[in-house]
């Protein structure tokens, strides 16, 4: 019997992909029902369960109100709303960690084959003992995928560490590994993965599967496995996740604006009826959206999967799919404006404060947000590079949108000057 490989590496960390909120190209939609979900708990609920009580105890000990945590622990730690994708804090902590575990490959353990059925049984047994072996890893999402080429396991967890200072229980991968007996700094996670690999290897041996020695490549994956894994992470999936994150941010912004409008006084409402600043921004966004909506759907849009060095492939998009690309382009443009604003705020903070002061944390958070915006803009530029027609049409829409903003700015400046002249005239008249 030929030997098989074990792949145990860090996963991308996309709950939307794991739970099949959307279906990527490498998934057989008819076999999604065959997937095995061990646990599927919303991340905000998981954080509430892990940290709400310890935050309450921490706040109760504080004598100063400004030292109390007034948001959820997730927002306190990551300065971000809970997300189905991994969020990285300024101190490099991640909102959750994912491990991708697989036995064999599509040639010896393909889904639907006897070999695939046997390796799936090994992965099920491995998962059933995972939490008992790793008490400091709180598993809130775990799925065995049987709708792709090879059975593989996604395990998403929050590392739980105990501390003597600050909040008693925190998200801390190093401390969690240390408490489970894995020390050695950066090498601790590798020691842990080797131990977990040994557990899975013993399970496979007990079922008559011989495991080969691991090959040095990327993490604990072989070069062939790495190529197959990266094939699964295609460009359209990344764009869909970006769209979901941007949509969440826009919904929060709309809610904030709605609340702000509700709190305007009667005097401010009278002025707002003429045209408020918020109304202008919404109007501009609607106009720009209409402009983008006029762009025709070009046949055979080309996408270059630069993540694993793939070539350019043409994709025929239906009306719904092309509308999604249009909305994505609009949100990328908004990201450009947000990035420019963040740059200005970050520079102001950098000039005003040094690393020794508390406001530097806000500066770090701004830099982290700016990096997210840059990622979206970089992805947009990749699409535009291979689609000059779409790029030209969107560029024209942006220029028309900027012209509208310039006209409004000029009109507002003229109104301010007129009001100032009127005040000066009244003041002069009063003095006389």
Q: Give the CATH number for residue 133.
A: 3.30.930
**Cα–Cα distance for residue pair 186/190, rounded to 1 Å:** 8
pLDDT greater at residue 254 or residue 199: 199
Q: In 10 A of CB 2, how many CB atoms?
A: 9
Most confident of 151-160, 290-299, 318-327: 151-160
Tell me if 84 is assigned to some domain. yes
What pLDDT was estimated at residue 395? 72
Of 207-221, 274-288, 413-427, the poorest mean pLDDT is in 274-288
Tell me if 429 is assigned to some domain. no
* Mean pLDDT, residues 16-27: 88
DSSP state of 41: -
- Our count of domains for the chain comes to 2
What pLDDT was estimated at residue 83? 92
User: How large is the C-alpha radius of gyration of the chain?
Assistant: 27
* Mean pLDDT, residues 50-68: 92
Q: Count Cα neighbours of 379 within 13 Å in the Cβ-side half-sphere.
A: 24
* Tokens, residue 163: 């501390």
The answer on 226 and 371 residing in a single domain is: no
**Cα–Cα distance for residue pair 19/39, rounded to 1 Å:** 10
Tell me if 344 is assigned to some domain. yes
* Mean pLDDT, residues 45-72: 93
pLDDT greater at residue 190 or residue 230: 190
Check whether 192 has a pLDDT greater than 50. yes
Check whether 345 has a pLDDT greater than 60. yes
The answer on 156 and 35 residing in a single domain is: yes
What pLDDT was estimated at residue 128? 96
What pLDDT was estimated at residue 428? 67
State the residue range of the domain holding 414.
236-422
Please, which pLDDT band fits residue 306 given cuts at 50, 70 and 90?
very low
Residues contacting residue 391 through CB under 8 Å, at least 6 positions apart? 384, 385
Q: What proportion of the chain, given as a percentage, has pLDDT over 70?
A: 57
Domain limit, last residue, from 201, 232, 263? 232
What pLDDT was estimated at residue 283? 55
- Report the sign of the C-alpha dihedral through residues 380, 386, 388, 389, in that order: negative
Please, which pLDDT band fits residue 167 given cuts at 50, 70 and 90?
very high
The overall average pLDDT reported for the chain is 76
The answer on 336 and 289 residing in a single domain is: yes
* Tokens, residue 74: 């997730």
The answer on 180 and 105 residing in a single domain is: yes
* Mean pLDDT, residues 119-142: 97
Domain limit, last residue, from 199, 232, 265? 232
Check whether 271 has a pLDDT greater than 60. no
8 Å CB contact between 43 and 82:
yes
**Cα–Cα distance for residue pair 300/312, rounded to 1 Å:** 11
Check whether 136 has a pLDDT greater than 60. yes
**Cα–Cα distance for residue pair 306/200, rounded to 1 Å:** 33
**Cα–Cα distance for residue pair 229/11, rounded to 1 Å:** 10
What pLDDT was estimated at residue 74? 94
Most confident of 231-245, 254-268, 306-320: 254-268
Tell me if 338 is assigned to some domain. yes
Pairing of strands 36-40, 169-171: unpaired
What pLDDT was estimated at residue 412? 85
Please, which pLDDT band fits residue 415 given cuts at 50, 70 and 90?
confident
**Cα–Cα distance for residue pair 216/27, rounded to 1 Å:** 28
What pLDDT was estimated at residue 122? 96
**Cα–Cα distance for residue pair 243/331, rounded to 1 Å:** 8
The answer on 369 and 281 residing in a single domain is: yes
What pLDDT was estimated at residue 102? 95
* Mean pLDDT, residues 52-81: 92
The answer on 111 and 16 residing in a single domain is: yes
The answer on 209 and 271 residing in a single domain is: no
Pairing of strands 169-171, 301-304: unpaired
Smallest Cα–Cα separation from 338: which of 290, 409, 281?
281
Check whether 207 has a pLDDT greater than 90. yes
Tell me if 46 is assigned to some domain. yes
Tell me if 375 is assigned to some domain. yes
**Cα–Cα distance for residue pair 312/386, rounded to 1 Å:** 8
**Cα–Cα distance for residue pair 149/111, rounded to 1 Å:** 6
**Cα–Cα distance for residue pair 145/136, rounded to 1 Å:** 25
Q: Which 3 state secondary structure label does DSSP give 424?
A: helix
pLDDT greater at residue 104 or residue 405: 104
Q: Which 3 state secondary structure label does DSSP give 120?
A: helix
Q: How many helices (H) and strands (E) does the chain have?
A: 14, 8
pLDDT greater at residue 23 or residue 81: 81
The answer on 211 and 339 residing in a single domain is: no
**Cα–Cα distance for residue pair 295/195, rounded to 1 Å:** 55
The answer on 276 and 201 residing in a single domain is: no
Tell me if 310 is assigned to some domain. yes
- H helix or E strand, kind and range, residue 10: strand 6-10
What pLDDT was estimated at residue 372? 61
The answer on 304 and 416 residing in a single domain is: yes
The answer on 256 and 199 residing in a single domain is: no
Q: In 10 A of CB 378, how many CB atoms?
A: 11
Check whether 292 has a pLDDT greater than 70. no
Check whether 314 has a pLDDT greater than 50. no
Task: Give CA 174 to chain center in angstroms.
Answer: 22
The answer on 223 and 265 residing in a single domain is: no
Q: How far apart are the first and last CA of the chain?
A: 106
8 Å CB contact between 41 and 253:
no
**Cα–Cα distance for residue pair 101/119, rounded to 1 Å:** 11
Q: Residue 290 — φ and ψ, nearest 5°?
A: -65, -40
Please, which pLDDT band fits residue 230 given cuts at 50, 70 and 90?
very low
Tell me if 1 is assigned to some domain. no
**Cα–Cα distance for residue pair 174/162, rounded to 1 Å:** 11
Domain limit, last residue, from 184, 215, 232? 232
Q: How many residues does the chain have?
A: 432
């Amino acid at each position: 019997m030929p030997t098989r490989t074990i792949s145990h590496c860090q996963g991308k960390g996309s709950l939307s992909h794991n739970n099949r909120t959307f279906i990527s190209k490498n998934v057989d939609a008819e076999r999604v029902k065959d997937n095995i979900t061990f646990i599927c708990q919303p991340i905000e609920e998981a954080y509430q369960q892990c940290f709400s009580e310890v935050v309450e105890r921490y706040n109760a000990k504080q004598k100063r109100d400004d030292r109390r945590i007034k948001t959820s622990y997730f927002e306190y730690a990551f300065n971000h709303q809970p997300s189905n994708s991994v969020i990285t804090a300024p101190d490099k902590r991640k909102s959750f960690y994912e491990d991708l575990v697989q036995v064999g490959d599509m040639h010896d353990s393909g889904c639907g084959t006897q070999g695939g059925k046997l390796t799936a049984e090994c992965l099920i047994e491995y998962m059933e003992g995972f939490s008992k072996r790793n008490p400091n890893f709180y598993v809130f999402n775990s799925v065995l995928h049987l709708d792709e080429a090879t059975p593989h396991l996604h395990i998403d967890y929050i590392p739980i560490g105990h501390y003597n200072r600050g909040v008693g229980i925190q998200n801390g991968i190093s401390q969690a590994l240390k408490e489970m007996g894995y020390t050695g700094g950066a090498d601790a996670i590798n020691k842990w993965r080797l131990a977990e690999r040994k557990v899975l290897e013993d399970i496979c041996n007990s079922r008559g599967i011989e495991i080969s020695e691991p090959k040095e490549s990327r993490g604990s994956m072989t070069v062939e496995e790495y190529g197959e894994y990266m094939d699964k992470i295609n460009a359209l999936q990344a764009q869909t996740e970006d769209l979901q994150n941007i949509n969440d941010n826009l919904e929060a912004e709309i809610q904030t604006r709605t609340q702000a409008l509700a709190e305007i006084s009667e005097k401010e409402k009278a002025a707002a009826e003429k045209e408020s600043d918020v109304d202008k921004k919404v109007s501009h966004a609607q106009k720009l959206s209409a402009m983008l909506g006029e762009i025709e759907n070009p046949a055979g849009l080309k996408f270059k999967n630069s993540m694993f060095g793939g070539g350019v492939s043409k994709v025929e998009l239906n009306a719904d799919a092309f509308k999604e690309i249009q909305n994505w382009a609009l949100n990328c443009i908004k990201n450009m404006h947000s990035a420019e604003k963040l740059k200005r705020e970050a520079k102001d903070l950098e000039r005003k404060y040094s690393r020794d002061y508390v406001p530097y944390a806000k500066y770090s958070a701004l830099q982290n947000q700016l990096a997210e915006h840059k990622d979206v803009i970089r992805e947009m530029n990749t699409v535009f590079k291979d689609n000059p027609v779409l790029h030209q049409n969107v560029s024209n829409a942006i220029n028309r949108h900027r012209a509208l903003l310039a006209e409004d700015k000029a009109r507002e400046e003229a109104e301010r000057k007129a009001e100032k002249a009127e005040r000066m005239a009244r003041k002069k008249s009063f003095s006389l």
